[in-house]
Structure 1
C-alpha cells in the first residue's frame, strides 16, 4: 500500500509530547500525505514534514470549513472565560463542568472543519485519521465534516452532560461513518459505556521503526551534558506533572534515599515548591529543564539516564508515551503497577522494575536497587511486546480499517 493519507492532528501546535513523533513517522511512511493542523504546528514538526514530502495545511479551506473553525474558536474563548469565572469550588459540580462541556463542542467543530478541508484537498486519500480525537461528539464530527474517518481516542477526560447528549443523539446515525481507535482495552471499555453503538478497535498509538535506539556515544554525550559521573546513578522523570501522575509518592520516597541519585526532570507544568524541597535533600542531585522539549533534547535526557521513571495513580490505564519511549529508545524502566494490563505485560521483563503504586517505601527500594544493580537495556523485541508497530504497518492498518467505512461496490 503506497497511497497518501490525511493526518489530522489538533495538538500539532504543542511542542513536546508524542503527537509530532507519530505524525512525522506516518508522513514518512506515505510520502505525499496531507497533514492538517487546525491550531497550527511547531517549527520542528514543519521542518520534518517538509523533508518527508508531506503537504501541511493550518487554515481551513472552503466556506463551510471556515465557519466551523470560527465556531470552534468562539466556543474555546467562551470556555476559557467560563473556566476563569467558575474557578471557585463553591460552585455546584454541574456548573464547574460547564467549561469542559463547551470545550468538547469546540474540539468537535475544529475536527469537522479539518474533515471538510480534507474533502477538498485530498478527496482520494487512502485514509483520513484524526490522530488525537475528542472523546465525545463522534457522530456530530462525522456529520458536520462530511467525511468518513478514523479517530484515535486516547482517553476519556470528561463525558457529555444531558444538553450535549441531546445534541449528540441528533447525529447518532452518523457514528456509522467513523471508527474509533483506542490505545488500550481500558480506554475502549470506558468509551463503550458512553457510546455502545460506535464501532471501535484497540490499537497502540505509538510507533517504532526500530531505528531510534540511543547509541553508546549518545549516552556518553548525555552524561557529559548534565555533568553526571559515569559511576553515579541517574533516573529521568519526563513530562508535565498532570493530575494522573503520583508525584506525592515520589516526594516522600526521595526522602528515604541514603545514597546519591541524579534526578533529571524535564517537562511542563512543574510544581516549584516540590522542586525546591528536592533541591534541599542531601542525596538528590536535581537536573531541571523547564518547559516542553523537542525530540532531540529529549533523547539527550534519556541518554543520560540509567532508567526512566513512570509513576501514576492507581487505575490510570491509558497508553503511556513514556513507557513507549523507554522501549524504542532502549532505556530501562522503573514503573508503578497502576495499570494491571501493563504490569502483566512487563512482569517477566528484566529491563522493567515494577513497584507498588502509591507506596513510597517500595519506590525508594526500587530507586536504591537501580543505584546498586543497573537494569539491562530492553531488547529489540520490547516494542512489539507493548503493541507498537512500524509506521508502514500502522499506515497499512489505517488504510484497511478505513476501507470498512466506504460503500461496497455492487456485485455483477
Structure 2
C-alpha cells in the first residue's frame, strides 16, 4: 500500500472509554485530511475533535450496507445467545462468541468497502480495533486493508476455520499489526498465511504532557492536600488485571495513601473494603470516562499502578498513558519484554507479578520519596510513535513487500 488518503475505521467509536478515541483523533489530526468510518456513530467528544481537524465521515452503502445490517443482526443474536446459554457447558457457551466473530468480520468488511469508496483508488484503509479472527474473509469481502489486532480473546472453532480456509486468498489483501511481540507470535502461529508484524498501537505526543498547573488543579478537585501521596488505578477490572494483589497490598500498607480509581467495570465489594481502610482515602471516577477525565486522574497522581497477572503480553495503554502524560509508574513484571524495556528507567518501580508484598514496598517507598517523571524521550525509547510517525507509517505500508 502506498501513500494516499488515510481511512480510519473504528467499529467501537460509539462506546466511551478505552484508548481508541485518543488514537483515532490523533491520527486524523496528524494526517490532515483523513476519512473516518464509524458504523455505529461516535461519542460527542470524539466527534467534535474529528470535525475540528476536518476529518470526513463515511458510511457503508450498497453492498456494504447489506453487510453492515447482517453483522448487526448477527451480533444481536449472539448477545441474546450469550444470555440464554450462560448456564450451559463451555462448548455450548462458545457458540454465541463464534457468531460474534462472524458479525465483527461482516461489519469490518462493510467499513473497509466504505473506506475505499470514499477514499478513492489510493486509499489506505486501517481498521484500528479489528477482530482476532476471519482476517482473510474480511479482506475478501471488504478489500485491501491494514488491521490492528490488539489481542486474541476468542479463537476460531472448526466451522469458522472452514470459512476462513475457503476465503484464504483474501489474506493477501490484509496486513495485520499486533501491538506486542507476544500477540504477533500468537497470530502468526494461528494464521500462518497472514502477513503480521509487531507495531505499537498507542501514540504519544509531548504536547499532551501534564504540567504543574494541571497537577495542582486536579488534586484540588479531588481534595488531595499538597504533600500527601496519591496513586491512580485506571481502567476496568478485567481478568488479566491482578486486583487481588492490589487488594492485599493495600491491606498490608502502613502509610497514608490517596487512591484514585477510574474505569468500568469495577467490583463494589472490593471498593467497599478499601473504603473501610483507615489509611486509604478512595476517590472514585466510575464508568467509562472522557479524555479530559483521564487527564485529571493522572494529573492528581504521584504514580500510576499497573498490576497484571504473570504472562500477560498484550499492549498496556496504561504504560503509554504514563509516558504520554509524564507520570511515574509502579508496574508488575508480568511481561518479560516490557520489563526488559523498563528495567533501567528511573521513573518506573517494578515489583514481582503476583506479589502483594512487592507492591506494598513500592507504595511505601513512594510515600517517602517521589519518583522522577518520564523524560520527553521516554516514548521513543519504548517504541511508541508520535501520531505523525504512525500516520506516515500506515500510509507507506507496502503489502507486497510484507508478504515476501
TM-score (norm 1): 0.95
- Over 3 Å counting, the alpha-carbon distance change for 1:126 and 1:396 in structure 2 is farther
In the alignment, what sits opposite 2:232?
236
Please name the residue that 1:381 is paired with: 377
Name the structure 1 match of 2:53. Answer: 52
Residue 11 of structure 2 is matched in structure 1 by 10
Structure 2: gaps (5+ residues): none
Aligned to 1:75: 74
Q: Does 1:102 align with 2:103?
A: no
Q: Specify the alignment match of 1:111 in structure 2.
A: 108
Q: Write the distance in 2 (CA, Å) between the matches of 1:189 and 1:339.
A: 14
Distance 1:125 1:223 in 2: 48
| Cα deviations by residue, 1:225-273 (Å, 9 ceiling, x for unpaired) | 1110111100000111111111111111111111110000010111101
Deviation at 1:391, TM superposition (A): 1.4
**Pairing 1:174–2:170 present:** yes
1:327-338 equivalences under 5 Å are: 327-338=323-334
> Do structure 1's residue 352 and structure 2's residue 351 form an aligned pair?
no
CA distance in 1, matches of 2:298, 2:55: 29
The partner residue of 1:326 within 322, 328, 347 is 322
In 1: Cα distance, 2:180 partner to 2:39 partner:
26
Q: Secondary structure at the match of 1:201?
A: strand
SS at match of 1:288: strand
CA contact (8 A) 1:237 1:308 kept: yes
Provide the C-alpha distance between the structure 1 equivalents of 2:245 and 2:157, rounded to a whole number of angstroms. 33
* Aligned equivalent of 1:410: none
Q: Secondary structure at the match of 1:319?
A: coil
The alpha carbon displacement at 1:209 in A equals 2.3
- The residue that corresponds to 2:85 in the other structure is 86
After TM superposition, the runs of 4+ consecutive aligned structure 1 residues lying more than 4 A away are none
Distance in 1 of aligned mates of 2:283 and 2:367: 17
Cα deviation code 1:45-87 (max 9, x no counterpart)? 0000011110123x422x2011101110111011111101121
Could you tell me which residue of structure 2 aligns to residue 36 of structure 1?
37
Deviations 1:91-129 (A, max 9, x none): 332111111111100100000110111122112344110
Secondary structure in 2 aligned to 1:357? coil
Matches within 5 A, 1:152-163: 152-163=148-159
DSSP-derived class of the 1:211 partner = helix
Report if aligned partners of 2:116, 2:125 keep a CA contact under 8 Å in 1.
no
Q: Please state if 1:20 is matched with 2:21.
A: yes
Q: Decide whether the 8 Å contact of 2:242 with 2:354 is kept in 1.
A: yes
User: Contact 2:187–2:196 at 8 Å: present in 1 too?
Assistant: no
Once the two structures are TM-superposed, the CA of residue 4 in structure 1 deviates from its matched residue by 2.6
1:353 shift after superposition: 0.4
Please give the residue correspondences for 1:369-408 in structure 2 after superposition, counting only pairs within 5 Å. Answer: 369-402=365-398, 404=400
1:2, CA displacement in angstroms? 7.8
**Would you say the 8 A contact 1:6–1:125 is kept in 2?**
no
SS across alignment from 1:374: coil
Length-normalised TM-score, structure 2: 0.97
CA distance in structure 1 between the partners assigned to 2:30 and 2:275 by the alignment: 44
Structure 1's 125 and 14: CA in aligned 2 closer, same or farther, altered over 3 A? farther
Q: Distance in 2 between matches of 1:154 and 1:255?
A: 34
CA RMSD, 1 decimal = 1.5
Task: Report the Cα distance in structure 2 between the residues aligned to 1:3 and 1:153, rounded to whole angstroms.
Answer: 22
